[in-house]
Every structure is written in structure tokens, then in C-alpha cells.
């Protein structure tokens, strides 16, 4: 008897077929990774932009709150002084601080002057003269008797880190400054006044756990002592 052999079908892979499939997978993987990297980069940039915008708004809000605090401070000061001492007077002191030293320039400004008596009341004392007090209308100042006014004014001689020149240039090409040039001055005079710090917990002592969160400074000019331009 003879044996019948059926031909078997053998499927052979074409040369290079498996290699081309692996290469395509690698390319697709690289494309996906690159797309993910681009998406993550864009997302990170958007996040950073949002954080900058939020930080800018927070800084602007703090600045506005500090300005409001400074305005309220000086408004309350003037209201209290003029209410308690209605017969007071103001004068212009061109040398607050009592010095013209280059490292401690004198700060010009308005000084509120009053006596320690109610309005229109005669002084009752042996010398017949009331005590006179002076209060510079700038931030960081304190009230001092007239006799020791000059020696007590060291506030205009503070370090630059604790004070600000409020007559600085408003922009790069500005030649007048925020306040302006004084009569006869070629350039704007420096008007340096101390900062007043706002602590994180107002009313408590400044410390590492209670740091300043904002600060303000003010300088009041009284127009009443100036000569009327019509004269």
C-alpha cells in the first residue's frame, strides 16, 4: 500500500515585517509623548500666568488698603487736632529735622501749632504764657513742646530703608516730581518721610510671627499760609 502525503501549507513571514511594525509603534509612542509634553508645558505656563495675575491683584489690593489706611490716619489726625484746638495755627518749616547735612537732608513741611489750653481761655499761671506744642503733619512724627521741637525732630533723618522720598520722579523723564519744584529750585527737592508699617495683627508687637504686611507714608501741605496770587 502506498502512503498519501498531503502537502502542508506553511505560512512564512515576509522579511522585515516584524521590524517595520515595531518601528511604527515607537514612532507613535514618541508622537504621543511629545504631544503630552506640549500639553503639560502649555498647562504649566497657563498656571504660572494665573498665579502672576493673582499675585498682582493681591499686591494691588494690599497697596489700596495701605493707601486707605494712610488717608484715614491723617484725616483722623487733622480732625482731632482742629476739633480740640480750634484756635491753632500752621506754619511752613523748610528745615524739619533742623539739619542740611548731605547724609540727613532736612524735610520741609507743614507744622501744626497749638497751646495747651481750650480755645479763648486765658492762661492761669505765674508766667502768664501757655505752653506751645508742635506736630509736623507727616507720617511717623510726634508732638513736641516748642522749646524742644528742633532737637526732637530726628524723624527726617531716618535711613532710606525706613523712609520714602515722596517727591521722586513720576516717570523716567519727569523733571518735576510728585510734589513739584520749590520756588527758586532747579530740581525737585527731596521730601523724605518715614514709613508707617501695618502689621499682620494690628495692635500687637512686631515680631517674626507678626510681620508687616503693608506700609504707608503721608505728607500734608497747608495752602493757607501762602500768599494769594492776586496780591
Instruction: Select the more confidently predicted residue: 20 or 196.
Output: 196
The answer, as to whether pTM is greater than 0.85, is no
Over range 168-188, report the average pLDDT: 84
Averaged confidence pLDDT in the chain: 76
For residue 90, give the C-alpha cell.
Answer: 500752621
pLDDT above 60 (res 23): yes
Rounded CA separation 114/78 (Å): 13
- 203 burial class (0-12, 13-18, 19+ CB within 10 angstroms)? exposed
Amino acid at each position: 500500500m502506498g502512503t498519501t502525503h498531503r502537502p502542508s501549507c506553511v505560512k512564512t513571514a515576509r522579511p522585515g515585517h516584524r521590524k517595520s511594525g515595531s518601528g511604527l509603534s515607537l514612532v507613535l509612542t514618541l508622537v504621543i509623548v511629545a504631544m503630552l509634553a506640549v500639553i503639560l508645558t502649555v498647562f504649566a505656563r497657563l498656571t504660572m500666568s494665573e498665579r502672576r495675575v493673582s499675585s498682582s491683584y493681591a499686591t494691588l489690593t494690599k497697596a489700596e488698603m495701605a493707601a486707605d489706611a494712610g488717608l484715614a490716619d491723617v484725616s483722623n489726625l487733622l480732625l482731632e487736632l482742629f476739633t480740640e484746638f480750634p484756635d491753632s495755627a500752621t506754619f511752613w518749616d523748610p528745615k524739619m529735622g533742623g539739619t542740611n547735612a548731605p547724609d540727613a537732608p532736612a524735610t520741609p513741611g507743614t507744622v501744626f501749632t497749638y497751646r495747651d489750653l481750650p480755645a479763648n481761655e486765658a492762661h492761669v499761671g505765674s508766667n502768664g504764657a501757655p505752653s506751645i506744642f508742635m506736630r509736623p503733619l507727616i507720617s511717623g512724627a510726634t508732638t513736641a513742646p516748642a522749646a524742644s521741637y528742633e532737637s526732637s525732630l530726628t524723624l527726617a533723618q531716618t535711613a532710606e530703608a525706613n523712609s520714602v522720598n515722596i517727591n521722586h520722579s513720576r516717570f523716567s523723564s519727569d523733571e518735576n516730581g510728585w510734589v513739584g519744584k520749590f520756588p527758586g529750585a532747579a530740581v525737585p527737592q527731596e521730601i523724605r518721610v518715614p514709613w508707617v508699617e501695618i502689621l499682620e495683627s494690628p495692635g500687637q508687637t512686631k515680631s517674626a510671627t507678626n510681620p508687616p504686611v503693608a506700609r504707608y507714608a503721608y505728607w500734608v501741605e497747608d495752602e493757607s499760609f501762602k500768599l494769594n496770587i492776586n496780591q
